[in-house]
Structure 1
Amino acid sequence: MIKFFYHPSPNPAKVALFLEESGLPYELVPVDTRKGEQHLPAFLAINPNGKTPALTDGDATVFDSNAILLYLAEKTGKFLPANTPELRAQMYSWLMFVATGIGPYSGQAVHFKHFAPEPKEYAVNRYDFEAWRHWSIMDAHLANRAYVVGDQYSIVDMAVWGWARAVPFILGADAWDKLPNVKRLLDEINARPAAQRAEALKTRHAFKAEMDDEARKAMFPQNARLGG
């Protein structure tokens, strides 16, 4: 039985969507990051990076959301583009674009806009610029195609969906005016029953919502150094 270590944030959402789309049986294991459960030894034994999501499948352990998508797609043979050099090269390229660009820059933009202490003007400017740049590249890519790779829904679209759900929080309430093609893909995926089931997973556990001192210590341990 697959065990899926989950928190309701963008990266676990990608994996949740694949699991719900594929119909694979799995056990949901909540990891409450604002309570610091990602730093507990039991979780670090599965994911030494201390981040959600993670997945175990018998003797196999996989961490990093994009690695998990590739693992599950290869395991099931589902949601992969046709096995041609052209399409597989596109799949790897755009999946890594999400993994190393959209995700990190969006996450840092959120951190510095909403959670970092002052002064932060330089950091906000840098990460907002880079988040916009990456999302604009994706929007331009989607202008003349239905999906990110080829003509079929794939794990790359799932990876985009995980972060696209948070675009207004990342870039601002009017962001969709400038990213109509990403919004079109988001709306299409949101209409899928599997996406609705993936979104509903967050209701299975009472995850901590408050960003209090306990949560800040768990989420931003680097700030402990500021106290000397």
Structure 2
Amino acid sequence: MSSAPQDSPRIRVLVVDDHAIVRDGISTLLNRQADMEVVGEASDGAEAIAMYCQLRPDVTLMDVQMPGIGGVEAITEIRRFSVDARILVLTTYPGDANAVRALRAGAAGYLLKNGIRSALVEAVRSVHSGRRAVSADIAHELALHALDEPLTQREIAILQLIADGYANKQIASRLNVSVETIKAHLKAIFSKLDVHDRTHAVTIAARRGYINPFSSG
């Protein structure tokens, strides 16, 4: 437990995660710190935005993949409301694409939930003091794919539709293009992801955070 001076103001934290058990665990951990207090909990992005505007926490712990408004969209909206918002992503998804989107949206850090508890506590303090906090695994993924050509928005849309169970002909119809155009996009996708079939492409895209497993199609 931290031994912060009694007259030091506590770091006020908002915890955002769609799993109640996870929120409870994080809140319990942070509330045990002498220099921290959890001032609110939100279960999705929309609730996170509303609670941030109401509570104005010092640090917001944000999950990335949630039903409805996801973490990246919530980060963008919160930062639009307050450019000084300090947001730390805490997620189970190690994908570099998710990390890049979150950091570009304004997140000050990106941690994995499977990390040690002390790392989370120290990351909250770091972000609160104006520094960045990125887990070693995420930093490795970012470095590994730094020179990769990113997928375009159209390619990501096609991959999401494949993940949702659509065949090439159906995707072409939904996007109002020819089947040959879809095949050309798939060829480019396979090259960028270094895969040879649709199934592997979806697996890699999901792991790297390009597509959303919560999508209902």
Tell me if TM exceeds 0.5: no
Q: TM-score range by the shorter chain?
A: under 0.3
Between the two structures, name the one with larger relative contact order (CA 8 Å, sep ≥ 6).
Answer: 1
**Structure whose residues are more often strand by fraction:** 2
Q: Report the TM-score when normalising by structure 2.
A: 0.26
Q: Report the TM-score when normalising by structure 1.
A: 0.25
Radius of gyration: which is bigger?
Answer: 2
**Structure whose residues are more often helix by fraction:** 1
